[in-house]
Amino acid sequence: MATATATSSSVILRTTSLHKTYRMGGEDLHVLRGVEMSLQKGEWLAVLGASGSGKSTLLHLLGGLDRPDQGSVLFGGEDIFANGSGGVDRYRNTTVGFVFQFYHLLPELTALENVVICGMIGNGVLAWPGVRAKVRARATEMLERLGLKDRLHHKPSKLSGGERQRVAIARALAHSPALLLADEPTGNLDANTGGQILDVFREFHRAGQTIVMVTHDARVAAAADRRLTLEAGRLAGA
């Protein structure tokens, strides 16, 4: 924790006492009870915790998918929720890349097309050949970097679980987000294939990628620079 706060200039992401309560039926579930954390640029943080401890909830707040009831998420010193829904949409679409346990690739498209279509519509100019070529080149580069050179034109149904997850990672990183948020990225994979996904993370991390990864598996968390555990709604160093 001391290193994280030492040089405030290199802190990329910080939260102030995050609270989140879910209302289920008639009952309130106070999941996050004052979560404080800060993350250095280029750091790889793992958040551990039992099932139901609120790891995913925290990740959703960090990525602007959901809003905290109290407290704020500061990226580069700015509150991501301060500038209305347009601001948080921009943050989510340009600054963050998400990877989840399941891949949700469109089965009608090839691996390459799955990555391209995202970037194309993100650009807004579907028919502009210049953009198209650039997006395509970038998608190809990402997939090749992820070891999918021979799989570019395969449909998801012809890919293994690990390969599908790598396509999803390519899609998440194609727009070069400053922050990669991953929720149990190896949760649906066997240990061996999960290890390959962690190798991919390691490689991007070495190249400077900042990562927050949520997992309940201590062996997976061991790959990160630093581990925090979510317990009783708060984060503690591990």
Binding site for another protein (CB under 8 A): 24-26, 56, 60, 64-67, 85, 88-89, 92, 98, 100, 102, 104-109, 114, 117-118, 121-122, 171, 183
How many Cα neighbours within 13 Å face the side chain of 51?
Answer: 1
| Residue 62 CB, nearest approach to ligand ATP (Å) | 12
| Residue 183 CB, nearest approach to Mg ion (Å) | 6
Task: State which residue, 143 or 180, has the beta carbon closest to ligand ATP.
Answer: 180
Task: State which residue, 11 or 212, has the beta carbon closest to another protein.
Answer: 212
Q: Which one of residues 56, 110, 114, 209 is an interface residue with ligand ATP (CB under 6 A)?
A: 56
| Residue 223 CB, nearest approach to ligand ATP (Å) | 18
C-alpha 195, offset from chain centre: 18
Are 13 and 179 contacting, i.e. CB atoms less than 8 angstroms apart? Answer: yes
By the rule CB under 5 A, 56 interacts with Mg ion:
yes
Task: State which residue, 28 or 199, has the beta carbon closest to another protein.
Answer: 28
> H or E element: which one contains 2?
helix 2-6
What are residue 44's DSSP bridge partners?
211
By the rule CB under 6 A, 49 interacts with ligand ATP:
yes
Q: Tell me which amino acid residue 28 is.
A: D
Q: Three-state DSSP class for 159? A: coil
CA–CA distance, 67 with 50 (Å, rounded to integer): 22
By the rule CB under 6 A, 236 interacts with ligand ATP:
no
CA–CA distance, 234 with 236 (Å, rounded to integer): 7
Task: State which residue, 132 or 216, has the beta carbon closest to ligand ATP.
Answer: 216
**3-state DSSP helix/strand/coil percent for the chain, to nearest 5?**
40, 25, 30
| Residue 101 CB, nearest approach to ligand ATP (Å) | 8
Taking alpha carbons only, the member of 171, 162, 229, 150 closest to residue 197 is 162
Q: Segment contacting Mg ion (CB under 5 A): 53-61, 68-76, 203-211, 224-232? A: 53-61
Which residues here bind Mg ion, judged by CB under 5 A? 56
